[in-house]
Chain A
Amino acid sequence: MDQLAGPAGAGPCLFLTKGGLLLENKTAAVSMRGITKTFGSVVANNNVDLDIYKGEILSLLGENGSGKTTLMNMLSGIYFPDEGQILIDGKPVTISSPKEAFDFGIGMIHQHFKLVDVFTAVENIVLGLKEEGKLDLEKAAKRVQDICDNYGFDVDPKKKIYDMSVSEKQTVEIVKVLYRGADILILDEPTAVLTPQETDKLFAVLRNMKDDGKAVVIITHKLHEVEVLSDRVAVLRKGENIGQLITKETNAQEMTNMMVGREVTLNINRPEPLFSSPRIRIEGLNVKSDDGVMKLKDVSFTANAGEILGIAGISGCGQKELLEAIAGLQDVESGSITYISDDGSREELIGMDPQKIADKGVALSFVPEDRLGMGLVASMDLADNMMLRSFRSGKSMLTDRKAPRALAEQIVHDLEISTPDINTPVRKLSGGNVQKVLVGREIASAPTVLLSAYVVRGLDINSSYTIYDLLNQQKEKGVAVIFVGEDLDVLLELCDRILVLCDGRVSGIVDGPTADKHGVGMMMTSLGGDHMDGGEMHE
């Protein structure tokens, strides 16, 4: 793999690209040299060299646990490196707190926003700033507006955070960093929560910043974003920088191979559905949240056995309530959810809790969005987590420990879960392994319906493909799989049909193989998209 060929970070720096080309002379805004960071026995970053240039967008690409976020956290003052040196404009510096990072013009936008809900945008932006004189919110609002106009942001400085969409909140975070005079912006997986349209908008803004001479780093594992946005890619694997590429000269396949360390096929299988009898029929479903907001409005659709039904929508559009209503975890205002078994007998699921549903012989499995907070118990070990579904079996007052242990051993073996042993608490496993434990347990009970919410969120390519394969296996066994997803590319490749939710209503149902991404994106933001009439189902 090619190495950086610059003198230790000082001054203008040349580096050699894959094709042997020399990039024009540019000043490295930040150089990291020989950075190592360990957590206990885990080496998060090992001897990493990285340069960040002004007027350029750098993608930091890598699987989960490859040390992308850790590396950037050291730049933004959250962690302190064990070894190595950080240079800013060629001068060695020490960054030991986020405030010092700001003083050097480094600002990071984290995955989880850190905003005060009851404050306005501008109040959040000036929060924590120690400026001389009296607090002048009007002046601050004007400066915020200037920044927005300058880069093409669309945000009302006087709007309260709780009234904002996820994308607006993200904008506030970015403006907050710019307001503090950041020249180096780091964004940690900024598109994870955005619709395709919002993503496009964000990318346009980032390009404006680049043209303004700012250095932009985005942490991501979505390859198409790397391709459309960045000028340069640095690939991390197992904490090491294994190479830097010019985006124009590489492709998704090459980047994936570098990221994973071996050849990977990038196509998701979509076997032809073998069965197509209805399994779950939902009619006129209305659900109200605890605080009285209608989360689902008149939702009707059918999920068939032996197909994967995708559910697309901006986050918080009723996906969670829909799945939880089917699983018996959500109170329902009105409507019906009918389970149709192979012999044609019907069972109304509304009004039953998960235990009753299971007692009725409905084999319903559910992989919830909140894996450690709902699907599993973080502090319990693998075997005890297996027991969640089976601990009631038998008449004895005592639990049967043998069967869950055997199941845990088997799942660890079958799904290649990396864990010291089955007595390890699941919170100590990595995200991908946690998800394999959960999915493994849920499919072990031979379900006829498998509900899944954001099953691959935060998982790396390898684990994601393992999960897709497992879902496809279930589909081929005749299970009705409902797949709530956020990555439209995946939804379009994996699902047989896609139901699009918009603000709690069914915006439309499209065929997976023929659907087009932008059409689905439009349907997510307005009922029926722009070319269809509102609110109707298209089956």
Chain B
Amino acid sequence: MNNKEPLIHITRRADIGWKKAWVIRGAAIITALIISAIAVTLATGLDPFSVYGKMFEGAFGSPRKMWILGKEIAFLLCVSLALTPAFKMKFWNLGGEGQILIGALVTSAIMIYVGESLPNGALIPLMFIAAAGAGAIWAGIPAFFKAKWNTNETLFTLMMNYVAIQLVAYYIIIWEVPKGSGKVGIINQDSLAGWMPDLAGQKYLFVILLVALMTIGIHVYLKYSKHGYELTVVGESRNTARYVGIKVDSVIIRTLLLSGGMCGIVGWMMVSSTDHTITTTLAGGRGFMGIMVSWLAQFNPVAMIFASLLLVFMQRGAAEISTAFQLNQSFGDIITGIILFFLIGSEFFINYRIHMRHKEKEGTENV
């Protein structure tokens, strides 16, 4: 063969074993840590090992930090679980943020208006149902338009986020305490009406257990239920779905009611269990982070536990190093970015093989 052969060939791999795939992912994380270490040393002159040590401390350093870590994982995981059925159906629900907020708004409203007149035993379930319903409606509107008129769901769900944010901003002014502060303040601080009770003395245990149950539920729903099968078929091919008599429109709407409802529940958890107040930034980007978690885990609910652990760990660790070393918070984000870049990039090497140009062989018949 003469030497004009292309330098690099890229071919698609046949199935790669899961062991080999994890070796590649492991190598990607190690490379990312090395690159981050170099970045740390170059930019700050700090010892990268002490920086990494601090990150661990920030995430796992004390029982309290462990509980916060657990709660944060639960929130993020729950959003990812919520988005996954929609994604499997290839409905790009980018409206997680708004669905969380609207759930939180409804929860707050019930706490404020009927909190004093209902016992917690009835109040908290009422908040739960209302928040789930509000989130479901928020996702159901774009789903309805998609099903009926094939509107673009990415834009529609994204715009619904801004509507939700503005609604929350409006009600914050109505509910603000004290007047003129621009904040709602802690709701029902004295009566604790609508506050999620501690479980076994732990503030966040109930939320964590609930999300654990939802993880199992979504896993079974996607993998073994008739609904899960239908939405997978719709996602892969609407024509096939129609061909076997699946009602595509109602599957789209049904799935998004579930997806939005679960996001609404996250809003309920955040207000009732941790924040006890509402701000426009309450969702904190989880609606978008959840997308990343869902994709990183390739829509597998169990893998999502680890993906959310990784992201929350990086976030908590980054916060810790920014205070411990008085670095800018963005520095932690840089490290997160490097690790995600390598982790997502490694998928390319799992799916494709790269061949370098052969060495010149003897006896090629170049005339």
Residues in A lying within 8 Å of B, measured CB to CB: 8, 10, 33, 39-41, 80, 83, 85, 91-92, 94, 96, 327-329, 353-358, 366, 368, 370, 373-380, 384, 387-389, 391-392, 397-399, 401
B298, chain A: closest CB distance, angstroms: 12
A98, chain B: closest CB distance, angstroms: 14
Is there an interface contact between A366 and B226, defined as CB atoms closer than 8 Å?
A: no
Given A10-B367, A355-B246, 10 other A-B residues pairs in contact with their CB atoms under 8 A: A33-B365, A91-B367, A353-B245, A357-B245, A376-B240, A377-B240, A388-B244, A389-B244, A397-B227, A398-B226
Is there an interface contact between A387 and B243, defined as CB atoms closer than 8 Å?
A: no
Is there an interface contact between B225 and A399, defined as CB atoms closer than 8 Å?
A: yes
Stretch at the interface among B3-11, B60-68, B179-187: B3-11
In Å, the complex CA distance between A8 and B2 comes to 16
In Å, the complex CA distance between A358 and B246 comes to 12
Closest to A42 in B: B14
In the complex, which residues of chain B have a beta carbon less than 8 angstroms from the beta carbon of A80?
A: 5-6, 9
Closest to A391 in B: B229
Is there an interface contact between A354 and B244, defined as CB atoms closer than 8 Å?
A: yes
In the complex, which residues of chain A have a beta carbon less than 8 angstroms from the beta carbon of B13?
A: 40
Asked if B239 is at the interface (CB within 8 A of a chain A CB), the reply is yes
Is there an interface contact between B5 and A377, defined as CB atoms closer than 8 Å?
A: no
In Å, the complex CA distance between A96 and B243 comes to 43
Is there an interface contact between A40 and B11, defined as CB atoms closer than 8 Å?
A: yes
A472, chain B: closest CB distance, angstroms: 25
A426, chain B: closest CB distance, angstroms: 11
Asked if B46 is at the interface (CB within 8 A of a chain A CB), the reply is no
In Å, the complex CA distance between A379 and B233 comes to 10
Is there an interface contact between B11 and A388, defined as CB atoms closer than 8 Å?
A: no
In the complex, which residues of chain B have a beta carbon less than 8 angstroms from the beta carbon of A368?
A: 243
Is there an interface contact between B245 and A380, defined as CB atoms closer than 8 Å?
A: no
Is there an interface contact between A380 and B226, defined as CB atoms closer than 8 Å?
A: no
Q: Which listed residue, B245, B364, B367, touches A355 by the CB 8 Å rule?
A: B245
Closest to A397 in B: B225
In Å, the complex CA distance between A389 and B364 comes to 56
Closest to A324 in B: B243
Residue interface bits B348-367, CB-to-A below 8 A is 1, else 0 = 00000000000000001111
In Å, the complex CA distance between A497 and B367 comes to 61
Q: Which listed residue, A358, A376, A378, touches B245 by the CB 8 Å rule?
A: A358
Asked if B113 is at the interface (CB within 8 A of a chain A CB), the reply is no
B223, chain A: closest CB distance, angstroms: 9
B65, chain A: closest CB distance, angstroms: 40
> Known: A354-B243, A376-B240. Is A398-B225 also a contact (CB below 8 A)?
yes
B316, chain A: closest CB distance, angstroms: 37
A438, chain B: closest CB distance, angstroms: 11
In Å, the complex CA distance between A91 and B227 comes to 63
In the complex, which residues of chain A have a beta carbon less than 8 angstroms from the beta carbon of B14?
A: 40-41
In the complex, which residues of chain B have a beta carbon less than 8 angstroms from the beta carbon of A92?
A: 2, 365-367
> Known: A10-B367, A80-B9, A399-B226. Is A94-B2 also a contact (CB below 8 A)?
yes
Asked if B242 is at the interface (CB within 8 A of a chain A CB), the reply is yes
Is there an interface contact between B243 and A375, defined as CB atoms closer than 8 Å?
A: yes
Asked if B237 is at the interface (CB within 8 A of a chain A CB), the reply is yes
Is there an interface contact between B233 and A388, defined as CB atoms closer than 8 Å?
A: yes
In Å, the complex CA distance between A31 and B11 comes to 26
B246, chain A: closest CB distance, angstroms: 8
Closest 9 CB pairs of A and B: A355-B245, A354-B245, A40-B14, A94-B4, A374-B239, A377-B236, A388-B244, A398-B224, A374-B243
Q: Which listed residue, B224, B240, B365, touches A375 by the CB 8 Å rule?
A: B240
Asked if B232 is at the interface (CB within 8 A of a chain A CB), the reply is yes
In the complex, which residues of chain B have a beta carbon less than 8 angstroms from the beta carbon of A39?
A: 11-12
In the complex, which residues of chain B have a beta carbon less than 8 angstroms from the beta carbon of A373?
A: 237, 239-240
In Å, the complex CA distance between A358 and B227 comes to 19
> Known: A91-B367, A96-B6, A387-B229. Is A374-B11 also a contact (CB below 8 A)?
no
A273, chain B: closest CB distance, angstroms: 29
Q: Which listed residue, B225, B229, B242, touches A329 by the CB 8 Å rule?
A: B242
Asked if B327 is at the interface (CB within 8 A of a chain A CB), the reply is no
Asked if B212 is at the interface (CB within 8 A of a chain A CB), the reply is no
In the complex, which residues of chain A have a beta carbon less than 8 angstroms from the beta carbon of B2?
A: 92, 94
In Å, the complex CA distance between A353 and B242 comes to 8
In Å, the complex CA distance between A112 and B224 comes to 39
Asked if B302 is at the interface (CB within 8 A of a chain A CB), the reply is no
In the complex, which residues of chain B have a beta carbon less than 8 angstroms from the beta carbon of A398?
A: 220, 224-226
Asked if B324 is at the interface (CB within 8 A of a chain A CB), the reply is no
In the complex, which residues of chain B have a beta carbon less than 8 angstroms from the beta carbon of A377?
A: 232-233, 236-237, 240
In Å, the complex CA distance between A374 and B14 comes to 25
B349, chain A: closest CB distance, angstroms: 15
Is there an interface contact between A380 and B224, defined as CB atoms closer than 8 Å?
A: no
Is there an interface contact between A85 and B365, defined as CB atoms closer than 8 Å?
A: yes
Asked if B216 is at the interface (CB within 8 A of a chain A CB), the reply is no
Asked if B1 is at the interface (CB within 8 A of a chain A CB), the reply is yes
In the complex, which residues of chain B have a beta carbon less than 8 angstroms from the beta carbon of A96?
A: 4-6
In the complex, which residues of chain A have a beta carbon less than 8 angstroms from the beta carbon of B239?
A: 370, 373-374
Highest count of chain A CB atoms <10 Å: which of B1, B2, B6: B1
Q: Which listed residue, A85, A357, A376, A399, touches B229 by the CB 8 Å rule?
A: A399
> Known: A40-B11, A83-B1. Is A399-B224 also a contact (CB below 8 A)?
yes
Is there an interface contact between A391 and B226, defined as CB atoms closer than 8 Å?
A: yes
In the complex, which residues of chain B have a beta carbon less than 8 angstroms from the beta carbon of A354?
A: 242-245
Is there an interface contact between B365 and A40, defined as CB atoms closer than 8 Å?
A: no
User: In the complex, which residues 191-249 of chain B have their Cβ closer than 8 Å to any Cβ of chain A?
Assistant: 220, 224-227, 229-230, 232-233, 236-237, 239-240, 242-247
In the complex, which residues of chain B have a beta carbon less than 8 angstroms from the beta carbon of A327?
A: 243
A429, chain B: closest CB distance, angstroms: 14
